[in-house]
Amino acid sequence: MSPWRIALGLAAIGGLTALAFLPFFVNAYYLSLAMSLLQFTVLATAWGMFSGPTRYVSLATAAFFGVGAYTVAVLGEVLAWPLVLGIAAAIGGLMAAIVGLSTLRLSGVHFVIFTFGLAELVRQLVVWYEVNKTRVLGRYVFVDITQNDIYWQLLALAIVVFAIGWIIARSRLGFALRIIGEDETVAQHCGINVTIAKVALFTISATVMTLVGAIMSPRWTYIEPSIAFNAAISFQVVIMALLGGAHRLWGPILGAVPLTLLFEFLSARFPSTSTLVMGIVFLLIVYALPSGVAGLWDRVAARPLWRLTKKAEA
């Protein structure tokens, strides 16, 4: 193993250790900010796992996130926490499999519109059930989970997501999805079961998003459909993944960190204009960085002068 890989591995271990002990050294505000950073890092990375290789733009993040949050609200007081998370993941995965089998034959703008409509459909179904059956719109979340616990669970989920992404990228499934992203017709002629491959990765991605919603649910104490199924989450995740570069596993984190800080600043000081700024940022990314920061890095690294400099340094 080369020295730089060893150094990179040691740096990663050191960074994860520092992140693990972070709650002991920061106040409540910075811990809350760290949770937001981890939340959007996991969501954007999970989104990129599916949409990066397949080039399908999904706006269903809010649907799965909200399902996870509401599962905790309903079952959090009657079941053990690990079991609640397991049930939330199972519900999210089952819903994703059904949706995937039904809709992943669509592509382009049709798939985008359907996934956006899915989030709104699930929200309206929850509203209807709450209003007509429970007679109360919204639920309190009383579970024995502290803010530190939420942070550590998000950190553990982030590590798991990156590990899953690394394994998939080097597997036959990852190779098949890259071919599908280039041309589905070619993939079918190569003997790839296109539907199964897309549904499998869509289910994995959605399950992770559901777990994020479940883990974050105790943070609010009280949730209602407008909070759990907030459509802004879907758009924020897409913007973050595109800014960083969804085609790389580490790309979404390059967009999640700066944009989370930007949205935090705007929501605190300019709440009425944060949506406008989000739209402007999205337009700038599409026109100026269509491949994201990771794509820009790839282009710079491919230049002859850059390669010559690296050889000279070696």
Per-residue pLDDT of the chain (314 residues; tens, 9 = 90+): 567 667 767 777 788 888 889 999 999 889 999 999 999 999 999 999 888 888 888 899 999 999 999 999 999 888 999 999 999 999 999 999 998 888 877 767 788 888 888 888 999 998 888 888 877 778 888 888 999 999 999 999 999 999 998 898 888 888 888 887 777 778 777 778 888 888 899 999 999 999 999 999 998 888 888 888 988 899 889 988 888 887 788 888 888 888 888 888 877 777 777 677 777 777 777 677 666 676 666 666 666 544 545 544 55
Position 302 scores a pLDDT of 62
* pLDDT for the residue 304: 59
Domain boundaries, the chain: 3-230
Q: What angle do CA 164, 251, 288 make, to 5 degrees?
A: 150
pLDDT of 1 reads 56
Contacts of 232 (CB under 8 A, 6+ apart): 62, 275, 278
Global confidence as pTM: 0.88
d(CA 84, CA 228): 17
Q: Show the beta-strand stretches assigned E in 117-213.
A: 139-140
pLDDT confidence of residue 295: 64
Predicted pLDDT of residue 297: 64
CA-nearest of 111, 112, 136, 116 to 126 is 136
